[in-house]
Structure 1
Amino acid sequence: MNTYDAKSCSALEKPYYKPIEAALRWCNLIQHEAVILLTTGDELFPSISAFPQWPCLRANAEKVYDAILNGELAGGRDGRTVSAGDHVKKERLTIRHTDLKVWMSKHYPDQKPAFLFDDVERTTHSAINADSFRALQADRDAARAELAQATKWAHETVQKLSELQGERDSLAAMVEKMKVPSLRAETTYLNIIGGLLGLMLGKSPAGKSQSVFENQSMVIAAMLAHHGHLAGVSDTTLQNKFAEANRSIKAT
């Protein structure tokens, strides 16, 4: 299994640089490095007339050298840092990669050349330091955790809602199957019951009873005797329904 990480280094990166090597990388002129170094030779910078098409090349090399002279950037000899004030021949003067990166971050925060900064660092705003970046990462991770919890809650809520809707539909189907009468149908049934009770307990114009039942209690007793085994046929239910029927028939 190949575990080699091609991103663990950069072809542009070196442990240390001569001022001109740092400058040409700063200017993104690595493809012309051989010509630039050959033309510059042992000098610190190319001559003013050497590369007129790249005016920043000499300017950036001068910035690096100026930083070394003024103690802003630690200089070295062939990659080894020397004490401030130590004399180093110009052809052996070098700057360590790590020192150059710190110096550029401080003095040129808007500059993020690829040989010093990775893709994340280059896309991060210059005002955001390492602590701020870590704080932003922590906020992002917290936001992701909250989003995951909210997503889980929403999923569970939708699932419960779906279950409730299923129960509702099931109950609706049961009610429809039971054919529960509407208010109008209920009133009709009560009127019919009230009318029948009136006929059974009433008298003819001649004053003769129209049935063998003398009162409502006798009707209920007879209903229970003959149909008490049926659903809904109970003393309490019959009394309540007869009372409703009487009120309904009187209201019409």
Structure 2
Amino acid sequence: MVSLKTDYHPIEVALHWCNLANHATEILAVAFYNPDKLLRLFPQWPSLHAYTERIYDAILCGELPAWYLGRQFRPDSDFNRAYLTVRRPDLRGWVARDYPDDLPAFLFECDALHVQCVSLGAHLAQKSELEATARELQNVRQTLAIRTAELESQIIDLQAVIDRMDLLEEPSNDSSLMHYLIIGALLAISAGKSPEGQVQSIYKDQSTIVAEILRRFANIRGLSKRSLDRKFAQARRCLKQAE
């Protein structure tokens, strides 16, 4: 049966906490004036002594407010345990804070009856949140499907590029040599004079040709003076070796 008292003696709290309310008369008849002998007087209920000491320790440490002969108890004052009491609100607060996994029914039974109940407002709020989350999840799935399709398309395009690159062969040494020979031959007939001493073109030497190329094709990448000088020199060497 749920106790509806507003204040309790610590031993009353302990016996209710231990579910020994049916033995309250037997226990209280001797325990009020012998609270320190509970373990010897009732060895069959060791938890009664443990819970009683738990409560007294909380009172003496100031964690659980208590009253002594109508006045608020001060731990540093002299007292007789028989006249200590604790009020229900203080008791509930202390137990809920320090022993949330060991709530006695005589203090919290009404709360336990409704612990699983959910108000209509809370239910509607949770339902709204779930629906919003479901919509957001659907949007994420749609975005993921679009991104996946785009990625698959890019993979196909990349593979096509790789396939085309595989078809391209690097120029062979013979091919490179032929290019240098052609360049060297063009330089030989485009600059300076022929072996017979005749002027062959308007470009008197290789430097003039390089300068003209740089002037006319200044914006073409790769046609720098350094690159042209190096390639032309290589072409002349190749042509000389071939001759």
TM-score by length of 2: 0.46
Structure with the higher helix share, 1 or 2: 2
Task: Give the number of the structure with larger relative contact order, counting CA–CA contacts within 8 Å between residues 6 or more apart.
Answer: 2
TM-score by length of 1: 0.44
